[in-house]
Amino acid sequence: METFILIGITGIGLGALYFLVASGLSLIYGLMGVLNFAHGSFLTVGAFVGFWVASKMGFETTIPEFLLAMIIGGLAAGLFALLIEQLLITRLYERHIDQALVTVGVSLVVGAVLGGWFGNDLRMFPTPMWFLTAIDIGGAQIPADRVIYISTAILLLIGNWALLKFTRIGLIIRAGVENRHMVDALGINVRKAFSTVFFLGGFAAGVGGVLVSVYSNGVSPLIAGSYLIYGFIVVVIGGMGSVPGSFLAAMLIGIIKQFANYYATGLGDFVVVILLAVVLLIRPQGLLGKVRA
């Protein structure tokens, strides 16, 4: 039973990381139709800025210091995302393939710049000592850092939901995901919604970047790789443009991956891809996705 709980909660922790990457991807795709390959570089930028802030505070950080570094990392990634959107994406309005290609270019350049400056070796992220302790849940010893991943993901989900539900810009975003041209035709500035979504997506990815670098024991320009791909899988399984769908799919994938890795040694990735194929065959629009007209 303890192993069961341990694997389950570890899976949820991993799912939380996937969700942080996927939420932005899903909204950006749902609203603008942009397949954002640069999302991985938002994650890396957030991780490096967070690392820089945290290492200013010494080899070890307290929990508030760590949270501060995480938020600053997220903000930096959000601003970077905004910059990319304004500089490149908006100029390729409605050219979806070209937009995807440009983001591939961005991810290459950012990877090369960070690799050139810092090298590709892992650098230890200064984390609070508390992360290394374990919490007893139903007899299982859960690493404490998982709590941070899960609560951050839940906070982001709630924040996202509140923003989409109760604010004017959220209303525009929701309407835009549904039918962007109609919103345009009603004389509402959708561009502002685009920028908001890019900033928020970048913020979530940046926060995710800091947490990923805690999870993988350090920062390097290469940490984003597999998370971006899992982010894509989560978005496809959850349904394009649906943040709750992404949350559901991320948790599902995190848990299934951990259990498969434990009971069928190392088959986790494989099982996830099988799941993807099954979802595509049965429900091509994803779990909570709507059929696009």
Partner 1 sequence: MLRWKYSRPLLGVVMALLALAPILGDNPLSRPGLQQTMAVAFIWGGLALTYDLLFGFTGLLSFGHALYFATGVYVTCILINHEVVSWWLASLIAIAVSALLALLVGAASLRTTGITFAMVTLAFGEAGHVILERNFFNLTGGENGIALNANLIPQFWISVVNTKYIYWTALAAMALTYAVIWWVTESSAGRVFAALRDNELRVQVLGLNTQRFKLLAFVISAALAALLGDVMLLAAGSAAPRFADAGVTISLLLMVVLGGAVTRWGAVIGGIIYSVATTRMQDLTQQEFFKTIPKLIGGPIAEPAFVLGLLFIFVVMFAPGGLSGAYYKLRLRAITKKSQ
Near partner 1 by CB under 8 A: residue from 115, 143, 170, 244 = 115
256 is a site residue for partner 1 (CB under 8 A): no
- Least Å distance, CB 78 to partner 1, is 21
Interface stretch with partner 1, choices 64-72, 101-109, 123-131, 164-172 (CB under 8 A): 101-109
Alpha-carbon distance of 255 to 275, in angstroms, equals 12
What part of residues 15-74 is at the interface with partner 1 (CB under 8 A)?
29, 33-35
Near partner 1 by CB under 8 A: residue from 57, 67, 79, 101 = 101
β-partners of residue 136 are 141
Alpha-carbon distance of 55 to 107, in angstroms, equals 25
* Sequential DSSP letters for 45-71: HHHHHHHHHHHHT-SS--HHHHHHHHH
Q: How many CA atoms lie within 13 A of 122 on its CB side?
A: 12
Alpha-carbon distance of 239 to 228, in angstroms, equals 16
Alpha-carbon distance of 69 to 52, in angstroms, equals 8
- Least Å distance, CB 32 to partner 1, is 10
- Least Å distance, CB 100 to partner 1, is 6
Give the torsion through C-alpha atoms of 264, 229, 111, 33, to 10 deg. 180
Q: Is 197 helix (H, G, I), strand (E, B) or coil?
A: helix
Alpha-carbon distance of 74 to 88, in angstroms, equals 21
Near partner 1 by CB under 8 A: residue from 116, 138, 139, 159 = 116
- Kindly write out the interface string for residues 151-190 of this chain, putting x where it contacts partner 1 by CB under 8 A and - elsewhere: ----------------------------------------
264 is a site residue for partner 1 (CB under 8 A): no
Near partner 1 by CB under 8 A: residue from 59, 94, 97, 181 = 97
Nearer to partner 1 among residue 46 and residue 111 (C-beta): 111
Near partner 1 by CB under 8 A: residue from 53, 77, 102, 204 = 102
121 is a site residue for partner 1 (CB under 8 A): no
232 is a site residue for partner 1 (CB under 8 A): yes
Nearer to partner 1 among residue 17 and residue 272 (C-beta): 272
Alpha-carbon distance of 72 to 63, in angstroms, equals 14
- Least Å distance, CB 114 to partner 1, is 9
Question: For residues 29 and 201, is the Cβ–Cβ distance under 8 A?
Answer: no
| Both structure tokens of 178 | 């549904």
Backbone angles phi, psi at 123, to 5 degrees: -115, 130
Question: β-pairing, 134-137 with 140-143?
Answer: antiparallel
Near partner 1 by CB under 8 A: residue from 100, 137, 144, 287 = 100
Total residues in contact with partner 1, by rule CB under 8 A: 42
222 is a site residue for partner 1 (CB under 8 A): no
Alpha-carbon distance of 184 to 140, in angstroms, equals 53
Q: How many CB atoms lie within 10 A of CB 169?
A: 15
Nearer to partner 1 among residue 58 and residue 284 (C-beta): 284
Query: Footprint of partner 1 on this chain (CB under 8 A)?
Result: 29, 33-35, 88, 91-92, 96-98, 100-102, 104-109, 111-113, 115-117, 226, 229, 232-233, 235-236, 240, 266, 269-270, 272-273, 276-277, 280-281, 284
